[in-house]
């Protein structure tokens, strides 16, 4: 069977690090895809007898998406170490140069589109890298990581452990909104089947609180949005702490907190959507919806953009406008490509990246108008 490029290499390198008791740092994106990737890789490493020194999650709002200078600065006294990125990293050319200089060895596990150049990581696993001939390109990052964990543990993987990985892989895959076909479909089916009987205290707590174990319906969506509503503070993520906790009582408290937070988040999202709709109703009809505001939270931009994009069937660029820069999320209707659009306007951007249907960007405020026009021109074609 064909494998994702470099996945065996990455597994071998991680095994060696475990044997040699090297320090291992996991650095994941703060959404459920990134978090579930970190959790299952950490548990696979543990099951090999190894130990992860720290799991780090950037706050998208404060620190920005991906690897950033602040994180590297906080981690620099941990060198030498194996620095594994999950659900991010493929776009961090500069930051990975800096990490290399500090003495980290970087392994990138990602599923995002590579941009102009790939970073100088020691190993890159990303089904979307140019010379990867793995036939299925639609895996969520947790799907890629699940493949890696299977390679790491080989025949030693117990049925219970595998099922427990699949439960998180299913939730992360659904949360990341990748197409539910081929291996994604298998992961989701097997994972949800197992979820009903989960041993993981956090998921057990969710099912008990949300009631009657209707895993396939509403409860599951609530679990996903609650886990996605978690915040990363000082590079520590609430959902990660919850999913890795073995304290049943504590899990129940954390689940309640997250459910509350999510409710509040949903109200805020609704308010922003109303404001966006008010604004577009007063404008002339353009191919792209492009709206930002200083009061909008960046962490809500993705949800807002999704709803707007689905409703109006247009690319939606929703951003938080800060003092000098703006940062936002993009959602595109099927058949259009947000990354290609931004590539054609990249002279106005500081950074950008993601997938055809979902991506993000950062821009200097003085370029906002030119960027908007460039996008409209692109989609007029």
Smallest distance from the beta carbon of 124 to Mn ion, in angstroms? Answer: 16
Smallest distance from the beta carbon of 183 to Mn ion, in angstroms? Answer: 15
Total chain residues near Mn ion (CB under 5 A): 4
Work out whether 145 is an interface residue with Mn ion (CB under 5 A): no
Measured from the CB atom, is 315 or 354 closer to Mn ion?
A: 354
d(CA 47, CA 374): 51
Question: Counting Cβ atoms within 10 Å, is residue 326 exposed (0-12), middle (13-18) or buried (19+)?
Answer: buried
Measured from the CB atom, is 141 or 237 closer to Mn ion?
A: 141
**Which residue of 6, 33, 316, 321 would you call a contact of Mn ion, by CB under 5 A?**
33
**Per-residue contact track with Mn ion, 335 to 364, x per CB under 5 A?**
------------------------------
Work out whether 113 is an interface residue with Mn ion (CB under 5 A): no
The residue nearest Mn ion at its CB is: 33
Closest CA to 173 of 191, 199, 153: 191
Q: How many CB atoms lie within 10 A of CB 197?
A: 12
Cβ distance 243 to 193 under 8 Å?
Answer: no
Smallest distance from the beta carbon of 111 to Mn ion, in angstroms? Answer: 6
Residues in 193-222 at the binding interface with Mn ion, rule: CB under 5 A: none
Smallest distance from the beta carbon of 154 to Mn ion, in angstroms? Answer: 26
d(CA 299, CA 360): 11
**Which residue of 59, 61, 63, 87 would you call a contact of Mn ion, by CB under 5 A?**
87
**Which residue of 85, 129, 141, 147 would you call a contact of Mn ion, by CB under 5 A?**
141
**Which residue of 110, 132, 176, 372 would you call a contact of Mn ion, by CB under 5 A?**
176
Measured from the CB atom, is 32 or 341 closer to Mn ion?
A: 32
Residue 203, token pair as written in the block: 């998921």
How distant, in Å, are the alpha carbons of 30, 74, 235, 237, 249 from that of 59? 7, 14, 7, 9, 27
- Residues contacting residue 180 through CB under 8 Å, at least 6 positions apart: 173, 174, 188
| Sheet hosting strand 54-56, strand order edge to edge | 54-56, 24-28, 81-86, 104-109, 123-125
Answer positive or negative: Cα dihedral of 205, 209, 212, 218.
Answer: negative
Work out whether 43 is an interface residue with Mn ion (CB under 5 A): no
Measured from the CB atom, is 37 or 219 closer to Mn ion?
A: 37
Kindly indicate which of the ranges 3-11, 15-23, 174-182, 306-314 contains the residues binding Mn ion, using the contact rule CB under 5 A. Answer: 174-182
- CA 185 to chain CA mean position, Å: 19
SS3 363: strand
Closest CA to 93 of 250, 340, 294, 85: 85
Measured from the CB atom, is 71 or 144 closer to Mn ion?
A: 144
Work out whether 95 is an interface residue with Mn ion (CB under 5 A): no
Measured from the CB atom, is 61 or 176 closer to Mn ion?
A: 176
Kindly indicate which of the ranges 119-127, 139-147, 229-237, 358-366 contains the residues binding Mn ion, using the contact rule CB under 5 A. Answer: 139-147
d(CA 184, CA 188): 6
Measured from the CB atom, is 128 or 222 closer to Mn ion?
A: 128
Cβ distance 112 to 88 under 8 Å?
Answer: yes
Smallest distance from the beta carbon of 313 to Mn ion, in angstroms? Answer: 24
Smallest distance from the beta carbon of 138 to Mn ion, in angstroms? Answer: 11
Work out whether 110 is an interface residue with Mn ion (CB under 5 A): no
Smallest distance from the beta carbon of 110 to Mn ion, in angstroms? Answer: 8
DSSP string, 37-65: HHHHHHHHHHHTT---SEEE---TTTT-S
Kindly indicate which of the ranges 80-88, 187-195, 223-231, 363-371 contains the residues binding Mn ion, using the contact rule CB under 5 A. Answer: 80-88
Residue numbers at the binding site for Mn ion (CB under 5 A): 33, 87, 141, 176
């Amino acid at each position: 069977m064909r494998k994702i490029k470099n996945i065996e290499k990455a597994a071998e390198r991680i095994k060696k690090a475990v044997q040699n008791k090297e320090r291992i740092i996991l650095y994941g994106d703060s959404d459920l895809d990134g978090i579930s990737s970190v959790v299952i890789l950490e548990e696979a490493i543990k099951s090999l007898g190894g130990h992860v020194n720290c799991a780090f999650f950037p706050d998208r709002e404060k620190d920005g998406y991906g690897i950033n200078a602040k994180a590297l600065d906080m981690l620099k006294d941990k060198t030498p170490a194996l620095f594994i990125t999950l659900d991010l990293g493929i776009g961090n050319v500069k930051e990975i140069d800096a990490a290399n200089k500090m003495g980290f060895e970087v392994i990138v596990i990602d599923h995002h589109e590579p941009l102009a150049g790939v970073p100088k990581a020691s190993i890159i696993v990303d089904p979307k890298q140019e010379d990867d001939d793995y036939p299925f390109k639609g895996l969520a990052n947790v799907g890629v990581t699940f493949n890696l964990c299977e390679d790491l543990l080989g025949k030693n993987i117990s049925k219970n452990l595998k099922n427990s990985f699949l439960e998180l892989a299913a939730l992360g895959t659904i949360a990341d909104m990748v197409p539910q076909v081929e291996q994604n479909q298998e992961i989701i089916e097997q994972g949800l089947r197992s979820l009903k009987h989960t041993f993981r205290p956090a998921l057990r707590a969710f099912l008990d609180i949300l009631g009657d174990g209707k895993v396939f319906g509403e409860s599951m969506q609530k679990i996903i949005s609650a886990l996605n509503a978690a915040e990363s503070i000082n590079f520590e993520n609430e959902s990660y702490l919850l999913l890795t906790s073995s304290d049943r009582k504590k899990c129940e408290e954390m689940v309640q907190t997250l459910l509350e937070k999510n409710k509040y988040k949903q109200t805020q999202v609704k308010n922003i959507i109303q404001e966006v709709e008010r604004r577009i109703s007063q404008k002339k009809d353009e191919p792209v919806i492009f709206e930002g505001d200083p009061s909008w939270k960046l962490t809500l931009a993705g949800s807002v953009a999704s709803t707007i994009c689905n409703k109006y069937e247009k690319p939606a660029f929703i951003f938080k406008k800060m003092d000098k820069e703006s940062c936002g999320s993009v959602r595109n209707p099927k058949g259009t490509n947000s990354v290609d659009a931004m590539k054609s306007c990249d002279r106005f951007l500081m950074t950008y990246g993601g997938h055809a249907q979902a991506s993000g960007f950062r821009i200097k405020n003085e370029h906002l108008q030119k960027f908007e026009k460039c996008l409209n021109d692109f989609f007029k074609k």
